[in-house]
Amino acid sequence: MIKRELELPGLRLGGTSWVIPGSFADNMRSLSPDVSDMEIVLFDTPEHSNMPSKEEVLVMKDLCSELDMSCTVHFPSEIFVSCSEPDRRQREEMCLRTIELFAPLDPFAWILHVLGEKRGRSPSIDADMWLEKSISSAGIVAEAAGDRRKICIETLDYDPMYVKYLAEGAGTSVCLDLGHLVKCGYPVHETASSFADDVRVLHIHGVMPCGTDHRDLSYFDPDLFDSVRGIMSGGKDRVMTIEVFEDDYLRSLEAIKRGLRAEVF
């Protein structure tokens, strides 16, 4: 097993597949000296797509074994039940095709966005109906994953309690996005404590004073980082993904290393 400088007891760190120019495999090699998971960030539109071939997935599978790493897969499509029925089914089918493509990789987790038709604390003008339909759609995706708990519904801008209801209804886990909590003004420590049993993956990124998120961790309160780390470090195997890109990743590593050195001294 590879010994990494940034290993945290009971909590594995990860990075994204967009830290250097190049392939998914190139990024995995770049991440491997410091972290033990890579979030594969996908997009698939008529204009642009980075969906890999079956052969590329097999290369990543071999690399995971060689580098002692795991992967999480961020679906290229969201669940959005407020659209038309054909569009809703198309989104579900995109998630199912993604699960089929990446199945040989046996990801540690699958990251799923469940959108509402409005922004703010409530995702919908009819939250009960939205929950019912969203649980149904998320359940279809979870069933295809085999282990439902590997599907992690991510906290977005709406009240995190909706994600808790979604996860309970669909039998999934939660991806607790700490940067989104900070940006939207939700209590981070209290939410992490309340959600701890349901969280399989955490996302962490800095939020600038102007509100721009997914920036380096010099913009994340180090005391808050330590607080959440303490809550999430016991018992379960969890991944905390540093969800930033390119140079923000290297700056984030330095911020974490400074915090660890301060603990020593």
Query: Hey, what amino acid is at 204?
Result: I
User: What is the reported pTM?
Assistant: 0.95
Dihedral, CA atoms, 116, 117, 123, 124, nearest 10 degrees?
-120
Q: Is residue 6 part of a domain?
A: no
* Phi and psi angles of residue 203, each rounded to the nearest 5 degrees, phi first: -110, 135
Instruction: Give Cα separations from 205 to 9, 87, 216, 238, 249 (angstroms).
Output: 20, 31, 6, 17, 9
Q: Which residues contact 244 (CB under 8 A, 6 or more apart)?
A: 16, 205, 206, 214, 215, 216, 217, 252
Alpha helices in 68-126 (DSSP H): 85-102
Rounded to a whole number, what is the distance in angstroms from the first to the last CA of the chain? Answer: 28
Residue 2 in domain: no
The answer to whether 192 and 154 have CB atoms below 8 angstroms apart is: no
Contact 74, 51 (CB under 8 A): no
Structural domain span for residue 202:
11-264
The count of domains in the chain is: 1
Residue 98 belongs to some domain of the structure: yes
Flag whether 185 is in a domain: yes
1 belongs to a structural domain = no
Which amino acid, 59? V
Can you give the pLDDT at residue 233?
Answer: 85
CATH number at residue 18: 3.20.20.150
- Is residue 96 one of the residues assigned to a domain? yes
Please tell me the predicted confidence (pLDDT) of residue 265.
Answer: 34
| CA 237/CA 246 separation, integer angstroms | 27
For the chain, the C-alpha Rg in angstroms (whole number) is 18
Asked whether residue 89 is domain-assigned, the answer is yes
The per-residue pLDDT string of the chain (265 residues; one tens digit each, 9 = 90 and over) reads 677 767 777 789 999 999 999 999 999 999 999 999 999 999 988 888 999 999 999 999 999 999 999 999 999 999 999 988 899 999 999 999 999 999 999 999 999 999 999 999 999 999 999 999 999 999 999 999 999 999 999 999 999 999 999 999 999 999 999 999 999 999 999 999 999 999 999 999 999 999 999 999 999 999 999 999 999 987 789 999 999 999 999 999 999 988 776 664 3
What separation in angstroms does the CA of 147 have from each of 103, 131, 141, 144?
A: 12, 22, 11, 8
Does any domain span residue 3? no
Structure tokens of 66? 């060689």
pLDDT at 263: 62
